[in-house]
Structures are given as structure tokens and as C-alpha cells.
Copies of this chain bind each other. A is one copy, B any other.
Amino acid sequence: MSVAIELRQKQGPYQFECVNAAGKSCVIDGPTSIGGGEDGLRPMELVLMGLAGCSTFDVINILRKQRQEIQDLRVKAEGDRADTEPKVYTKIRLVFEAVGQVDPVKLKKAVDLSMEKYCSVSAMLGKTAEITWESKVVEA
């Protein structure tokens, strides 16, 4: 199974449109400190979004199979970067907050299963970063 994407320069030296095979896209841009326009996502943010997204899809998929009724799911991710180049993520924290008729034990198990077994991005970033997570069922 292979994945292909492309970057096309938009405006200014660092602003690019990142496009997938289906034509869906997002915009990245660099910081003003190097001449960027700050008008887009940063590459390291995309990586963190990829991690949070990958595990979120697993969690929803697992809970749907268990007929848990999630009304809403909010996921926060925070990553600490190394001080010297290459500034990899050294620590990443994820918080999953579910709203709805969801058993907190099932939610926790789904998140554990994703982070420890299914999530491809977690398996890759976990080689460099210590990844921790928590989950809770919250009020809407």
C-alpha cells in the first residue's frame, strides 16, 4: 500500500499547498523569522495532527464496533521538541475527551489499543518521543 502527496509553491518562499492523490489539500507556511508569512500550518504541526488523527480514527472505529454512542470527541496533542537540530519530538501528550453515552473503561481500552498496537503514526514517533495519553468522558 503506498501513499503519494505533492507540494506546490503558492505565495512567498515558504507557502505551499500540500495535495493528496484525491486533490484534497492543506496550506503550510514558514515563520517570519526565516522570511515566511506565518499563513499556514507548520510541518511539525502536521505530524502531530497526523498522530492525533490516526489514533482518533482507531478509537472511533473500535467504539463504533462496540456500539458506544459518541456525540463528540475532542483530542488535544502537545509535543516538546529537542533543543538542538534535528529538533525531533522528545515528549508527546495526548488527551481524548469524549461526550456521550460512552463507557470510560471502553474508551480507555480503545485508546490503549490504538497507541500500543494499531496507530501507525504512534509506532513511528514512539521511536523518538515518549508518548503518553489520557482519556475521559466529559459533559457536552
Q: How far is the CA of A89 from the CA of B53 in the complex (A)?
A: 16
* Complex contact B7–A45 (CB within 8 A): no
A9/B86 in contact, CB under 8 A: no
Beta-carbon contact of B74 and A5 below 8 Å: no
Interface flag for A130 (CB, 8 Å): no
A102 at interface, CB cutoff 8 A: no
Interchain CA distance A30-B48 in the complex, whole Å: 17
What's the nearest-Cβ distance from chain B to residue A46, in Å?
A: 4
Tell me which residues from 68 to 127 in chain A have a Cβ below 8 Å from any Cβ of chain B.
Answer: 70, 72-83, 85-89, 117-125, 127
Report the bound CA distance from A6 to B49 in whole Å. Answer: 8
Once the chains bind, are A86 and B122 in contact (CB under 8 Å)? yes
Q: Which A residues lie at the B interface, using CB under 8 A?
A: 1-9, 13-14, 16, 18, 20, 22, 24-28, 30, 34-36, 38-54, 56-57, 60-61, 64, 70, 72-83, 85-89, 117-125, 127-129
Q: Which 4 A-B pairs have the closest CB atoms?
A: A26-B26, A43-B53, A46-B50, A127-B127
